[in-house]
Amino acid sequence: RATKAQFLRGLLGGILALAVAALTWSGCIWLACLWPIGVVLPFRDVLGLVLVSYAPLVFGFLAIVPHAGLFWDGVLKVWMLLITIAGLNMEHGVDLLQAVAASGFGWLLFHLLGELFGSRVEKLRLRLLGRHEWVRPKDAVAALLDREMAAK
């Protein structure tokens, strides 16, 4: 069980991670618009668009549905990508093909950065939670059952 302090640190850490992810993805899309495509957009506008694209995460609980969670997680990520494409196209007047290229390149760059630095970020998040390593759910259940059986 997590203490109240660990829960609060985990909640604040999750909010911080989401904010950093939104800033990073915004930066990736902004760079993708600026460099290969040559479309100059204010960073603030791109950030607003990315924040709107995070709206489907209200359905994030679907990602923990047994046997279908990975599918729903993928659907939500594609939905977010489609929102950025539509936003660049409709709101900022970027050509559809350029919007697809900028959003796609930004999305790929964002996920590449996640793969490169994700383990370090996860270690920091665990440290904020007061843990030293990730506990697999199967191990946590086994330890809980052992403790319950020992108590009887």
Percentage of residues of the chain with pLDDT beyond 70: 89
Span 66-74, average pLDDT: 88
Q: How far apart are CA 70 and CA 89, in angstroms?
A: 29
DSSP the chain: ---HHHHHHHHHHHHHHHHHHHHHHHHHHHHHIIIII-----HHHHHHHHHHHTGGGGGGGGGGSTTTHHHHHHHHHHHHHHHHHHIIIIIT---HHHHHHHHHHHHHHHHHHHHHHHHHHHHHHHHHTT-SSPPPHHHHHHHHHHHHHHH-
Which has the higher per-residue pLDDT, 40 or 124?
40
The residue type found at 46 is V
Q: How far apart are CA 144 and CA 28, in angstroms?
A: 43
What pLDDT, on the 0 to 100 scale, is given for residue 132? 64
pLDDT at 41 over 80: yes
Crossing angle for the helix pair 43-53 and 69-86, nearest 10 degrees?
150
Predicted structure pTM score: 0.72
What pLDDT, on the 0 to 100 scale, is given for residue 3? 80
pLDDT at 125 over 80: no
pLDDT at 52 over 90: yes
Which range among 4-8, 61-65, 94-98, 127-131 shows the weakest confidence by mean pLDDT? Answer: 127-131
Q: How far apart are CA 126 and CA 53, in angstroms?
A: 27
pLDDT, one tens digit per residue, over 71-114 is: 998 999 999 999 999 999 999 888 999 999 989 888 888 888 88
- Give Cβ neighbours of residue 146 (< 8 Å, ≥ 6 apart): none
| Distance between start and end Cα atoms, the chain | 19
Residue 115 in tokens: 């793969």
Average predicted confidence (pLDDT) for the chain:
85
What pLDDT, on the 0 to 100 scale, is given for residue 109? 86
